[in-house]
Structure formats: structure tokens, C-alpha cells
Amino acid sequence: MPDDRTITYRAAVLEALFNEMRRDPNVILIGEDVGAAGGVFKQTEGLYMEFGAERVIDTPISEAGAFGMTVGAAMTGQRPVFEVMFGDFITLVMDQLVNQAAKVNYMSAGQFSVPLVLRTAVGIGANLGPQHSQSLHAWIAHIPGLKVVLPATPADAKGLMTAAIRDDNPVIFLEDRMLYNMRGKVPLSEHFVSIGSAEVKRPGDDVSIIATSRMVRVALAAAELLADNNISAEVIDPRSLVPLDVDTLVASVKKTSRAVVVDGGYKQYGVTGEIAATIAEAAFDWLDAPVIRHGAANVPIPFSKSLESLVLPDAQKLAASVAELLRGSR
Amino acid sequence: MTISLLDRKTTLSIFDRMLMMRYFEEAVLRLYNERRFASHFHLYIGQEATGAAVLEALGDKDLICTTHRNHGHLIGRGSDPGQTIAEILGRSTGLNRGRGGTLHASDPSRGFLSTSAIVGGCAGLAAGAAFGIKTKRETNVAVGFFGDGALEEGLVIESFNIAALWKLPVIFVCENNSAGAIGPQQGGYPTAITATDSFTRLPAAYGIDCVKIDGTDIVAVYEATTEATRRCRTGQGPAFIEAFTVRWPGSSPLWPEPATVTDLNEAWDPTRIKGPHAAWVRDHDPLLRTARDIVAHGYASQDEVMARDKDARTRIEAGATFAIESPMALSETVYEHVFA
């Protein structure tokens, strides 16, 4: 695109917020330290200066109360973006999210919708320990009525935030904090990425690596390593878990006959299992090997660097497992 | 015994709402006993004076969030009895096309947001509706109804703080229906499991204007609500009203005593009152009390009161018939409205 520039992932999300708040006076931002402080990750910097305290609203440390209020505001004409400071704290709004926001449209037979975005920062790797490192998106994706979005690049971050704010449903927008400084080309003008559209991030023929959020970067690095061994890996980013672009995933698997799923959430009962099962149901006859999965290890995320680095998939481990898969099935 | 000080028109309007509430609930109970639906349900019988007088004091544009004990609020606000019973019976003609049932029946056309069956959930939603009102610089108010048990939920306390911080135009109406409990819970006040000896101390700690009133007295309820709406409409919200009211025995399933069937003639002929709770019915049934007050105050004759009684019964019965004759929610609609 002619107006592309290179900016960070953090700036890309922020740009979408600025644009949407300028475009629609009903868009407001609600959260802890989002105002004058500009966010603990500087992810809301400048919004308060432009839009003021009426639209950039600092709440007490009362996630349940503030989010409950946000749901009510969304039902009555506002389009709030609610920020949960750390993804782990989503547990504090779970009742309002699961029992109110997700169900209002259905329970009212479409008479009320809940157009809100819940954004939060997730991701292992910043030595934050067990209560500040988790990626709990599988838990949310389990609930009908919630859309779940995980942008992996700056451009997707802008395009998906734009789409999330304009969506008439509750959209959970998970930003990997380890991507905040990632730089990439992002259109300066309005940029919209449809929620529910996967993207092939790297074409390939031998294996489909389906990766989410920061794991896309890991998968692309693994694909480079595999290319050195003459293995052609296709990397696909679903970009949203709900809705899931099953067609794009299945089309890739039908081409490559092998699938590996990588996600930053816990492996047990997680996103990787759901996607693997979806592929198995839709493309079993095309598979030459079992679908394999990589996720966060099934332990609380440890603090120490020496331990933390063990619990998350990395490019070497991923590449090795893909090579092993191909050795067994070629 | 209070003699009504409200004007005739207001008093009779509140009374009509109470009649509709009472006969609606008696119809629900009958339909349940006829096995026309199977569900937990929570009757409003005994609390009519609170709901009816609060609703009377509200304007058409005010917004309401309520609880699992929601039937009275809906009917008292004018929701169609047929569509409301149809929702409780899971019919396609229900307010929410059978998706909500008794626990979640809502009527946006009358300002009802979701009915939350999560105890205290309505407090957050009501604060949010008030936030929306304030943001749009409108002068309507949001009302959150809940029972005394909701004061045990953290969300409610958080909502008090947020509403007070931002001066939201929200009225929290706590229908304290444990206070006068009879039957197995008699004498157990407060039946709520809490260390506080006064619920109003909780919102008061945040500077919220609080009143405690007799929830069976329509005058007290109407005046308290009118004052609360005045405060909210002039930017002095929020407000908290604790209305002491009484739940009728027979609120299934935790309180499985037979409900008495209302006979308004008992208002002026107490000798007709029979059964294990006769003393309570005689002295505290808000319907009988209000009927007596209306006649004593010369607002209507006994015959005129009985004519209103008959009219309410007729409307409820027509609604029940409509609901029973409606088809069940249509199977092809099951996946509709998961998303907007």
C-alpha cells in the first residue's frame, strides 16, 4: 500500500483507537490507569490528552464492577473499549463476561446487543510469574457469544482493532505484550481486517503450521529453519479463534497433508486441541500423519528465566518436531 | 394503619399494578402446578407495594435492571401478560422468544435491560445504563432492583463505589424480603448472612443517599422513589432505597409452602381469612392493606375496588390462555441471535 509506514504493534493498536474514537463519539475507553498515566505498557498514551476524562475513563481497581458497568453502557448506546491490565485478571470479570455480555443478545432474542471490546495483554516471557503471564483465551473461546481475536502483526493489530470496535458483539482482543515493540508495515489510512479471516503468513507445501498470536513469529522462524532442511512449511494465522476460519485451515491441510498447531495458552484442554480436532473432523482422509500440538506447558508459568523459557514453544523445538513428523510420514 | 396520602389517581394506578402483579403470580403458580413448565421460579407475591410504587414514580424513559424475582416488575411496568407468561412457558410468542424464561425475561420496549439471575448482577448493569444516560446528558434514571442477598456480592459493593464516584443517575432498590420472613425462616432476621446490622451502612460509606422504608406502604415507597429520581435527574445521584417487604410463603423451590389464593373480600371481612398464616395475611398483605386504605380514604367503593380486581383477573387469564395456545419456541430458531 502506498501509505504504509513501519510502526510498532503498540502504536498500531493505539492508532486504531485514535481513529475510531475520532470517527464515533460513542467509542470510549475504560480501564485502570488508561487515562493520564497512558497505560502500564504505554498502550493508551495520548488518548486522554485528546479525548479527556469523559471518554478515557480511569476506574477503581474493581474489574467486576467496572466491567459490569461497561456491559450496561454498551447495551444503552456506548461502544466501550474496556481494558483489563493483565490477561490473568480476566478471571475477575469472568462472570460479567460469561453470564452477561455473552448472553444478552441471545437471551433478549436480538433486542439488545453488547458492542464492546475487552482488550488485554497476555503472553509468557517477561518474567512476570504465575499471575501475570497467562494466556487464557481458550477459556473465553469456550463461551458462545464472544468473539476472540489475537493479532500477530502490527498491521493485523490495527485492522482487527478497527473491526473489533465496529463489531456489534463483545470482542475479546488479546495483545501479546512481547509483541508491543515489534515493528511492521501498517497502512496510515483506515485499515480493517475482517474478524474470522485467517491469513497464510508464509506459503508452503509439506506441512501446515497453524499458529496464533506471538506463536506466528515462532512458526515463521521455525519455517526458516525447516527451509534449510528442504522442508516447505506453510504458516497460517487464524487471527481469530471465534469465529474460526475453518475453510482456510482445511484448504491448507488438504494441500500439505500434515498439520501442526502452536498456541501460547496452556496445552491441556486448549486452543491447539480444538483446532487439531477441527482439522481431523474436516480433513481426516487427507492427513498423512497425526496432527501435533505445541502449547504452554501444563504448569503455572514460573518466574525464573531459566524455568520460564522451558514452558513455551520455541522455533528450534517446533522445527525439530516438524522434521520428525515428516521423517515418519514422507 | 396508614391512610393513603397520595392523590386518588396515583393511588389507584399503583393499586392496579399490584393487582396485575398478584394475579399474574397466582397464574404462574397454577401453571406450574399444572406442569405446563418445569423450572425454578421466584414469585413476587407479598412485595407488590414496593415494585408498584417504585414503577409508578418512574418515567417512561427510565431504564430498569432486575433480578430473578422479576415477574412483578415486568407486569407492574405494563409488559404484556400474555407475552410474559409465554416466555415463562418457553413459547415462540414470549417476550424473548423462549430464550430467557422466567429467570431472564426482559422487555426492552418498557426499558428493561437484561434480567440477571446472577445475584447482584443487575447492580453493574444498572450502573452502566446510568453511565450511558449521563454520557448522553439525558435526564432519565436507571433503577436496579435486587434482594438483600445481593449485598453479600462484591460486584454490588464495587458498583456502589463506581456509581458514587461518577455521580451516576442510578437508584438501587433493595427489596429486603428476609426481614419479615414467615414460615421456616421466621424470626431469623436478618436472614442474609452478613456481619453488618444495617444494609444502608454499605452504600452510605460511599456517600450514597440512603433511606429505609416500609416496603408494604405505597406512600413511603412512592415518596422515597420520587425523591431519589429528583436527586438523580438533577445530578445528585445515586440513591439507595431499602424497602422492608415480605415474601409470601410458597416461593418455590426453597420455601415449599402452599400459597394462599387471594380473595380481596378479605380486606373488609377478616373473618374469611383462614390458614396457617392468617395473621400475616390480615395485617401485612400489601394488596389487602392498600384495598382497605383506598376504601377508607374514599377513593373508591368496595364495589369499585372489586371491579378493578375482576378486570385484572380477566386480563391475566386472557394472557394465560394466549400463552398456553402459543406454539413452543421454534426449533429452527435455536441458533439465532448467538451474535448480533
Query: Any idea what DSSP says for residue B134?
Result: H
Q: Do domains A4-187 and A199-329 have the same CATH topology?
A: yes
Give the torsion through C-alpha atoms of A172, A71, A81, A265, to 10 deg: -20
Question: Is there a contact between B158 and A65 if contact means CB atoms under 8 Å apart?
Answer: yes
What is the reported pLDDT for B189? 43
Most confident option among A234-238, B66-70, B262-266: A234-238
Is some CB atom of chain A closer than 8 A to the CB atom of B167? Answer: no
- List alpha helices for chain B, DSSP H: 8-33, 48-57, 71-76, 81-88, 101-104, 121-135, 154-165, 201-204, 218-233, 278-284, 286-296, 302-325
Chain B interface, mutation test: which of A30, A82, A91, A107, most B Cβ atoms within 10 Å?
A107
Q: What is the mean pLDDT of residues A75-100?
A: 96
Residues of A in contact with B114 (CB under 8 A): 75, 100, 103-104, 107-108, 112
What is the reported pLDDT for B187? 46
Query: How would CATH label the architecture of A4-187?
Result: 3-Layer(aba) Sandwich (3.40)
Is A308 considered catalytic here? no
Long-range contacts of A224-232 (CB under 8 A, 24+ apart): A224/A315, A225/A315, A225/A316, A225/A319, A226/A319, A226/A322, A226/A323, A229/A323, A231/A206, A231/A207, A231/A322, A231/A323, A231/A326, A232/A204, A232/A205, A232/A206, A232/A207
Q: Which of A63, A83, A234, A308 is catalytic?
A: A63
Whether the Cβ atoms of residue A230 and residue A259 lie closer than 8 Å to each other: no
Position B73 confidence tier, pLDDT thresholds 50, 70, 90:
very high
Position B278 confidence tier, pLDDT thresholds 50, 70, 90:
confident
On average, the pLDDT of chain A sits at 96
Gap between the Cα atoms of A255 and A321, Å rounded: 20
Q: Tell me how crowded residue B316 is: count the other CB atoms within 10 A of its CB.
A: 25
Strand partners, A207: A233
Domain coordinates in residue numbering, chain A: 4-187, 199-329
Q: Vertex A36, ends A45 and A25: CA angle to 5°?
A: 70
Whether the model pTM is above 0.90: yes
On average, the pLDDT of chain B sits at 90
Gap between the Cα atoms of A209 and B135, Å rounded: 47
Is some CB atom of chain A closer than 8 A to the CB atom of B106? Answer: yes
What is the reported pLDDT for A100? 96
Contacts of B315 (CB under 8 A, 6+ apart): B20, B81
Concatenated DSSP letters for B50-111?
HHHHHHHHS-TT-EEEE-SS-HHHHHHTT--HHHHHHHHTTBTTSTTTTSSHHHH---GGGT
Of A36 and B114, the one with more pLDDT? A36
What is the reported pLDDT for B192? 66
Q: Which of A132, A137, A191, A294 is catalytic?
A: A132
Q: In 3D, which of B244, B67, B199 has the Cα closest to residue B143?
A: B67
Contacts of A277 (CB under 8 A, 6+ apart): none
Q: CATH topology for A199-329?
A: Rossmann fold (3.40.50)
Gap between the Cα atoms of A14 and A28, Å rounded: 13
- In chain B, the largest separation of any two C-alpha atoms, in whole Å, equals 57
Position A1 confidence tier, pLDDT thresholds 50, 70, 90:
low
Of A262 and B115, the one with more pLDDT? A262
Position B191 confidence tier, pLDDT thresholds 50, 70, 90:
low
Is some CB atom of chain B closer than 8 A to the CB atom of A115? Answer: yes
Q: Which of A213-217, B230-234, B251-255 has the lowest mean pLDDT?
A: B251-255
Q: Which of A114-123, A173-182, B112-121 has the lowest mean pLDDT?
A: B112-121
Position B3 confidence tier, pLDDT thresholds 50, 70, 90:
low
Q: How many percent of chain B have pLDDT more than 90?
A: 75
Q: What is the pLDDT of residues A4-26, one digit of tens each?
A: 899 999 999 999 999 999 999 99
What is the reported pLDDT for A163? 98
Concatenated DSSP letters for B232-265?
HHTT---EEEEEE--PPTT-TTTS--PPPPP-GG
Residues of A in contact with B131 (CB under 8 A): 69, 72-73, 78
Q: Which helix or strand (DSSP H or E) is residue B213 part of?
A: strand B209-214
Whether the Cβ atoms of residue A291 and residue A282 lie closer than 8 Å to each other: no
What is the reported pLDDT for B336? 95
What is the reported pLDDT for B42? 86
Helix (H, G, I), strand (E, B) or coil at B21: helix
Strand partners, B143: B64, B171
What is the reported pLDDT for B179? 60
Q: Which of A204-213, B252-261, B285-294, B331-340 has the lowest mean pLDDT?
A: B252-261
Whether the Cβ atoms of residue A109 and residue B330 lie closer than 8 Å to each other: no
Half-sphere exposure of B106 (CA within 13 A, CB side): 28
Q: How many percent of chain A have pLDDT more than 70?
A: 99
Alpha-carbon distances, residue A230 vs A233, B131, B140 (angstroms): 9, 59, 69
Position B178 confidence tier, pLDDT thresholds 50, 70, 90:
confident
Is A294 considered catalytic here? no
Q: Which of B89-98, B138-147, B282-291, B302-311 has the lowest mean pLDDT?
A: B282-291
Question: Is there a contact between B106 and A107 if contact means CB atoms under 8 Å apart?
Answer: yes
Of A328 and A113, the one with more pLDDT? A113
The structural domains of chain B, ordered by start, are: 8-319 (3.40.50.970)
Gap between the Cα atoms of B49 and B289, Å rounded: 10
Decide if pLDDT at B188 tops 60.
no
What is the reported pLDDT for A257? 97
